[in-house]
Structure formats: structure tokens, C-alpha cells
Structure 1
Amino acid sequence: MVAVSTGWSVYVATRFAVMGLSEVAAEDVKEFGIHVTAIAPGVSRTSF
């Protein structure tokens, strides 16, 4: 994902962190037969 306007840096950084953590966790536990899945829905409009 690439930020297309200002104000997206925190969103992009945290999304990247969650995806990266999920990938590393998957590698750490695969020897035990555990699978890790990250679900990352797209941007949604909120009142925040």
C-alpha cells in the first residue's frame, strides 16, 4: 500500500507492522504445525 495523500503515515506504518509481525510469527510457529493468518480489510469510513 502506498499513501496517496497526507495524514496516512500512521495508518500505513501500523498496517505494515501488523503484516510483518504476522509473517514473522508464522515462521516462528510453523514447526509446531501452527498457521498464522492476518486479515487486513481495506480502508473504511468512520466517525474518527
Structure 2
Amino acid sequence: MRFPELMFLGAVLLWPLVPLYLLCIVWQTDFKLVARSKQRPTEGARS
């Protein structure tokens, strides 16, 4: 297999994972923020 074909195949296989990867990052940061606000509700209300 030539290199451009290999690159194309890799891009096709990895492309659906990109939005999933971004969603994972956003979900992790959201989860941390929610957990932090739940831990210290008084501090969040003051700031």
C-alpha cells in the first residue's frame, strides 16, 4: 500500500473519533466544574 492510501485510510478511520474525543474533553471539564461547585456551594455563591 502506498503512503497516501495509508494516510487516507487512517483519516477515514480516525475522523469519527474526533468529535467523540472533543466531547470527552468537554464532558470531563464540565464534570469537574459541577463536582467543584457541589463541594463548595457557599464559595461559589460568594464569588
Aligned length: 30
Task: Structure 1 unaligned segments of length 5 or more: list them.
Answer: 37-48
2:24 is aligned with 1:13: yes
Task: Structure 2 unaligned segments of length 5 or more: list them.
Answer: 1-14
State the percentage of identical aligned residues. 0
- Using the size of structure 1 for normalisation, the TM-score is 0.51
Higher alpha-carbon Rg: 2
CA–CA distance in 2 between the matches of 1:17 and 1:34? Answer: 22
RMSD: 2.1
Q: Which residue, out of 10, 19, 24, partners 2:35? A: 24
Looking at both structures, which has the greater relative contact order when contacts are Cα pairs under 8 Å and sequence separation is at least 6? 1
CA–CA distance in 2 between the matches of 1:15 and 1:28? Answer: 20
